[in-house]
Structure 1
Amino acid sequence: MRALLFVLACLAAPLWAQGFPEFERTTITDRADLLTDAQEAALHARLARLREDTGVELAVLTLPSQAPYAPEETIETFATKLFNHWGIGDASRNDGILVLILPDDRAMRIELGAGYARDWDRVAAEVINRSFLPSFEAGDYATGISTGVEDVITSIAEPFTTGTEAPPSNMPAMNWLVITSIVGSFLLIARRSIGDWLTRLRRCPNCGRRALSRTRKTLRKASKSSEGNGEVKTRCAMCDYRDVRSFTIPRTRSSSSGSFGGGRSGGGGATGRW
């Protein structure tokens, strides 16, 4: 059935010139049918929680191919236009994120909102290489999406909301090969703790040791009428390094409301192929 629908979509491509797929909900739209219902529900819950905790709108879209919509465009141009068509992210902060996956094209894109400095493009590329592509290359899209989206959250979305600058790239490539080989099984044990685990692998800015730990706490939940706030504490077990960053949680807007916040992208992000 999926193959038939895709063929029909390709035949109809001229009628859809510069058209865009519509989202089914503001968290996950799985048009390529890469996830089971249970996996999709779990991902939706995770992204809805991110939005509730931080106000960041992270949307995941899978399509078999880009061809029915923009056959002559690069994935970068298509992702930017799609991002802006949907209006992902808050209009004042432009902090939205789009994860676009095209299995038949063997390509994916993390598109970042215009509020992210260009240094975050490198972080997005690192996330793709270490958390999405290893599983995608093995044909395990579900694990790649689960692992990769969690890494997007903990390495980009959450740090950005606390005002953290994009971290330097100082981890040897071989370390990431080891990491990606165990992340899939690690997710089954403690999915929510991946952010703390990745933090421990980063070097302490004071002593240079990999002994960091991070805790994130909501001090006041946001509501539809008022903002909330929280703090992220990072400490090193090997020295006296301590860092506390406050963050604001925007007023809530239902993740099932059927619309995004009107954010825009300036073309930042990263692309991966397998």
Structure 2
Amino acid sequence: MSRAWAWLWLALCLLASVARAELAVPPPTSPVIDQASFLTDAERGELEKQLLDFHQRKGSQLAVLIVPAVDPETPFDYGTRVMDSWKLGRKGVDDGALLLIVADSHKTQLLVGRGLEGAIPDIYAKRILQDTLRPLFKQGLRFQGIQAATAQIEGLIDGEKLPEPARQASQGGGWGESWPLLAFFLLIGSGVAGKLFGRLVGSFIIGCLSIGLSVVLGAGVMMALLIGAVAAGLCLALGEHGWQARRQFPAAQLKRLEQQIAESERAHRGQLRFVVESALDWRAAWRGMSARQRALQWFGELRVWDTEENTGVLVYLLLAERRIEIVADRGINRRVAAGEWAGICAEMQRAFAARDHVAGLELGLSRIHEVLLKHAPRDGEPFVNELPDQVVVR
């Protein structure tokens, strides 16, 4: 009888030990589970946001579990059971990681899935726990220690080449996420279509393309038609406005002005370029560019600076604002005072105020010719035409 009681006692002890060993694994309701009140609510919330943001960006799952005790198991054994139960990481990738903190015994364990063993080998995990987490815990900086450790883990995972995370479609379909792409297409496409095909043809083309793209991205029929109309209107507004300038400067008169430019350059060292622009294009207007800034931009784009003696001179007319700007390279600026250029601009503006635009440009060319002949004469040196004489009309 005594032997039977002995066997029963032994069985009860074994059952008790097994029961004690099987400490319950909490359900994975959050990336941060604190059963030991180790962190404040605010700290736990901030840490949860950090880990969720990382999961959405990278795809890997990093979790923090804080428990009071795991006895008689070791943190490794208990952490292994948690990893098996929670199945952290993506299926087929196994890129999950668990930071286990045993509050009462101040023990920690970092466990990673097979997909992260290359990114976080045992020696790296040990350094994170001993060199980062433990010193901050000793200073009483619990939250800072966990945050620093998880940041290091995230950094190591970021350096590992893993599959891209799956992008979840937003509620209501893909249309809600696609409008930035469509807006970009409308702004850029309207300007490009107007430049390539003209405002009328370009507006028709960009309108049809916008309707088709809207339908593909999930917009309804009425919304797609509205977007097409907006795109066509943008093309009309942002497309080429050069017709206004060309109406003011017929081809025959431009040809005459170009001949005068060529004749003028043979008498002095200056190299002249004329630009007539109806209005600032949408890119310049969006940046709030002034007429002077636009003139400097044209000076660079037309390479007026690229002459042997740095004697290029740009005359820029902005019709919409009736502004005249003269930009001269340093080889001319050393010889001509800024006040002389300002006087020429004032004379030209008076002519433009009378709506005699061709006469205004010819007057400006005549005054510039006089100034360059005075300050930068050719003195019989051979003439080399380094810049085109054509007037740019936009």
Question: TM-score, normalization: structure 1?
Answer: 0.50
Structure 2 distance, partners of 1:82, 1:61, is 9
Tell me which residue corresponds to 1:109: 109
Asked if 2 retains the 8 angstrom alpha-carbon contact of 1:47 and 1:58, the reply is yes
Deviations 1:190-238 (A, max 9, x none): xxxxxxxxxxxxxxxxxxxxxxxxxxxx9x982259xxxxxxxxxxxxx
SS at match of 2:63: strand
SS at match of 1:92: coil
Tell me which residue corresponds to 1:64: 68
* Structure richer in strand, relative to its length: 1
- The amino acid across from 1:31 in the alignment is Q
| TM superposition outliers: structure 1 runs of 4+ over 4 Å | 12-17
Deviations 1:151-176 (A, max 9, x none): 1111x22112459xxxxxxxxxxxxx
Asked if 1 retains the 8 angstrom alpha-carbon contact of 2:25 and 2:85, the reply is no
Asked if 1 retains the 8 angstrom alpha-carbon contact of 2:116 and 2:157, the reply is no
The one of the two structures with greater contact order (alpha-carbon pairs below 8 A, sep at least 6) is 1
Deviations 1:1-45 (A, max 9, x none): xxxxxxxxxxx9875642432135231001111111111111111
Structure 1 distance, partners of 2:107, 2:99, is 11
Deviations 1:51-97 (A, max 9, x none): 10011110100001112xxx1x3221221121111111112101100
- The amino acid across from 1:55 in the alignment is G
* Structure richer in helix, relative to its length: 2
SS at match of 2:39: coil
Tell me which residue corresponds to 2:22: 18
Kindly state the Cα deviation for residue 98 of structure 1 after the two structures are TM-superposed: 0.2
Tell me which residue corresponds to 1:193: none
Q: Confirm or deny that 1:125 pairs with 2:88.
A: no
SS at match of 1:32: coil
Unaligned runs of 5+ in 2: 1-15, 171-394
Q: Identity percentage over the alignment? A: 25
Question: TM-score, normalization: structure 2?
Answer: 0.36
Structure 1 distance, partners of 2:150, 2:117, is 20
- Using a 3 Å threshold, how does the CA distance of structure 1 residues 162 and 17 change in structure 2: closer, same or farther? closer
- Using a 3 Å threshold, how does the CA distance of structure 1 residues 18 and 140 change in structure 2: closer, same or farther? same
Structure 2 distance, partners of 1:146, 1:60, is 10
Structure 2 distance, partners of 1:144, 1:89, is 23
Tell me how large the CA RMSD over aligned residues is: 2.7
Unaligned runs of 5+ in 1: 1-11, 164-217, 226-274
Structure 2 distance, partners of 1:113, 1:221, is 19
Asked if 2 retains the 8 angstrom alpha-carbon contact of 1:83 and 1:98, the reply is yes
Mean CA deviation greater in 73-82 or 115-124: 115-124
Asked if 1 retains the 8 angstrom alpha-carbon contact of 2:59 and 2:166, the reply is no
Structure 2 distance, partners of 1:37, 1:129, is 26
Larger radius of gyration: 2
- Using a 3 Å threshold, how does the CA distance of structure 1 residues 104 and 19 change in structure 2: closer, same or farther? closer
Asked if 2 retains the 8 angstrom alpha-carbon contact of 1:54 and 1:161, the reply is no
Asked if 2 retains the 8 angstrom alpha-carbon contact of 1:23 and 1:29, the reply is no
Structure 2 distance, partners of 1:25, 1:146, is 20
Asked if 2 retains the 8 angstrom alpha-carbon contact of 1:128 and 1:148, the reply is yes
- Using a 3 Å threshold, how does the CA distance of structure 1 residues 141 and 23 change in structure 2: closer, same or farther? farther
Q: How many residues align?
A: 154
